[in-house]
Structures are given as structure tokens and as C-alpha cells.
Amino acid sequence: MAPEADRPEVVRGRLVLDDRVAAGRIRIDGDRIAEVELEDDADSPGSAEPSDAFIAPGFVDVHVHGWGGHDAMGEIGDLDGMARALLRRGVTSFLPTAVTASLPDLVAFAARVREWVPRAPVDGAAPLGFNLEGPFISAAKKGAQNAAFIRPPSEVDRAELEPLLEGLRLMTVAPDVPGGVELIAWLSGRGVRASSGHSPADLDTARAGYAAGATSTTHLFNAMSAVDHHAPGLAVAALAADDVYVELIADGHHVHPAVWPIVTRTKPADRLLLVSDAMPLAGTGAKRGLIGGLEVQVDGDRCTLVSTGALAGSIIALDTAVRNLARSGVSLPAAVAAASRNPLAMLGVSDRGRLAPGQRADLVELDDDLAIRRVMRDGEWRAGAPPGVSLRRRLAAAR
């Protein structure tokens, strides 16, 4: 008989598959899924015994600025702490995300992440590169970004951007700013995903950005031209283009829950991305802090700029976003895909994000209330964290 440590682990529960929930078991061999065997279908959370855990692919946050008091733009120790804190919330892969800053500071951030990636902690979320939210955005829709560092792409030589490219997976660009569409095309040609956002672009300009190669949309509805039946802008262009991804911050503040069905009924299910846009204050209980040199405050579960009261990212993690979306009426497979398979597909990553043989053994075990019990990364279980913000009352009111 093989030693206990050499035996493949078997995980049983209600498996959250691409198109349904089904009772079954997953055999893990090392850091990979070796086999998935289904027993019977369990189409809804109430159709199986509450003691049977949901087993879902690990979550992937492609837009997160910090967590647990750790700033993505801080030192390497902050990246360690952020990765460990995110893993406990079900995030097995992520993109540390920089806010708008000076180009030298962004170059330093990029170099720091590149140095850190090979030695990122195995008990933390795995980095997939990094994300830059700016500085090539519109001052008219800067949101909580620092206007002092906003730059028009037309005034920046491409040589200044070369030090950013290695490891850069996603970058927000406003298509309306001078040189914005050209920068989107240049990034696309260099293998970097561009995301349209922080822009008051009209419909034609927004469409030009997507035609130039923008594949995603930074926090849909927030800091962009919205749905105006006389003057449609970026939000309409994003919703109407079936091949374009859209980010949704499902905290109930950035987009009212009554609007979520408009998104989920308009966009193909595989083009919705749940993101946290979380600030370093998330998970700390602290009420004041800094992001990009701007002071922010937390009131309940809402994070805003002290100076203007504008929303300044969120204090949720993706486990909360998945719960909120599922409780709003979206099927559990669709809610989970928006936090796992879809962001990976947007990045072109195919070795994780599904419960299927050959995939990395990155899993999340959830109870009947969709709270995290434990998290597996590369075949190793880690303890989960207590549930975060709940939107039960606001979701009920939105129906």
C-alpha cells in the first residue's frame, strides 16, 4: 500500500461546473486535477445536503489595489501580505494593480513586482503579472485617481513605456484622450490587454478604442460616459459589443444592485468580470488611509475620498462579490465564472479556472451560504477567512 502522503487526495462536494452544479468528486494528484467524477446533478444551492460543500475553481482578481493593510504599490513585504490575505478570501491568482502615479513610480512598481513574482509566497495568491490603472486617463473622469499624475499618451514617447511592458498584463486607457486610441493599438500589438475606462468618450470614440484592440472595460459605469439615450457613450459601447469584457464591482455602491440584471442580461455570460477594486484598507477595520497620495475614509462598507466624497475603490474581496451576485439571482456557475474562468480567459490563461482534468488544483470550498471554508492552491489546502460585507437587505430592496 502506498504511503499516505503519496496518495492522491479526493475532494467531494457540490461541484460548480461551467454550466451547472453537480454532486461529485475531484481527484487531486500533486498540483493538478487528475479526474472529475460526477454523481448526480444538483442544480441549485438547496438541492443537496447543506453539509455538502460547494467546490469551485479558485477566484482571480485582475483589479485589486491592496488588502489587509498592504498596498500593491508598497514594498515587497506588502505584496507578500496582500497575496496571503487575498488567498484566505478565495483568491488564488491576481494582478497587483497600481493607481495613477508618475511614470518613474510606475516603472519602480513594475520592477518591484517582477522581482517579487519568482519568490511570491506559496501560501498566498499567485501573481499573474500586474495591472496599471492609468496614468493615461481623462481628467474629466479621474474618479479617485490623482490628477497630478495624469498624462496624455500623445506626449509620452514609447521608449518611456518600454520598462513597463514585461509583466504588464492589463492597462486602463481612456480612448478619448490625445493619443489614446493609438496607445491602445500599440499595447495590443505588444501583447498587453488594454481596458477602456476613466473616460467621457462618446459612442464613436469608445467604439474606436475597442476596434483598436481594447478587450475590456474598467469598472463598468464608474468614471465613464454612461447610458444616455440621446448621447450614448463608453458604457453603451461596452454593453453592446458582445466580444468586449466588462468589470463589475459588486459591492452595491459602485453599481446599484437593481442595475446588475441589465449587465447580466446584456453581456454574454463569458464576458462578465467580477473585480474587487479593493483598497489597502480592505479587511483591516481601519477608517482612514491613503491611496495614490489621496486620503480616503471608510463609512460602513463604503470607501470614499475625504476631499470630495467620490467613491475610492471598495473594501470587498471576490468571495463577497460572488455571494452578492449569486444572491441577486445570477446562477452560481455564472457568478463563479465571472470571478474565475472569465478573467483568466481575458488574460489568455488556460491552465486554471475550471474543474477539469489537467487544470491546476486551485479550488475554493464554500458552505451553503457561500462563505469560504478553505482554499486550495496548487493542491495544498489553506484556511479560509470569515465572510465579509453582506448586501442581503439592499439586494432584497432592489428586487
Q: Which positions are catalytic? A: 277
Distance CA 155, CA 30 (A): 50
Phi-psi region of 300 (alpha: psi -120 to 50; beta: other; left: phi over 0): left
Place of cell 490575505: 85
Residue 132 neighbours by CB under 8 Å, 6+ apart: 97, 98, 106, 164, 168, 170, 171, 172
Q: What angle do CA 336, 213, 250 make, to 5 degrees?
A: 30
Place of cell 496582500: 82
User: Is the bond into 135 cis (omega within 30 degrees of 0)?
Assistant: yes
Q: Which three cell numbers stand for residue 370?
A: 457561500
Distance CA 193, CA 215 (A): 6
DSSP code string of 48-105: S-TTS-EEEEPEEEEEE-EETTEETTS-HHHHHHHHHHHHTTTEEEEEEEEPS--HHH
Distance CA 71, CA 390 (A): 24
